[in-house]
Structure 1
């Protein structure tokens, strides 16, 4: 990988932050009737996160887009 994006790839801060937000939302919901409902809820949260940050580029990725 190009040196400009190595720090971003090897860091888990984005994943940890997303997991923390997801756990908080699951705790607020308290209970799910079955695993299918939980799966749909998690999928919805992931899609909303992707939509929210679709236009943003993480540090170093914008400049190395042509390399990738």
Structure 2
């Protein structure tokens, strides 16, 4: 990290300051390469948030807060069911390395 910071501090001082304040920002590099994209990407979260916003935009369909809460819970449940058995990109290829890193046994 220091080599990176030294190289780019003149060009990107704010970025380097941020990196020095949060050295864990590149933690995903400690994991197997096939799963880097899944770790640092927020595509699944952003997609789900967009879907929630789309359906909750029409406020008249929720006469009170409890109805909105029930709707959100149902959406979260549905999302969890869809992705509960899905293997994120790269995790299947990196299974052995991850098991070794975290001492996981089948």
TM-score range relative to shorter protein: 0.7 to 0.9
What is the alpha-carbon root mean square deviation over aligned residues? 2.0
Larger relative CO (CA 8 A, sep 6+): 1 or 2?
Answer: 1
Alignment coverage as a number of residue pairs? 68
Q: What is the TM-score when the length of structure 1 is the normalising length?
A: 0.75
Matches within 5 A, 1:1-68: 1-28=31-58, 30-66=60-96, 67-68=98-99
Q: Indicate the structure with greater helix content.
A: 2
- Structure 2: gaps of 5 or more residues: 1-30, 100-106
- Structure 1: gaps of 5 or more residues: none
Q: What is the TM-score when the length of structure 2 is the normalising length?
A: 0.53
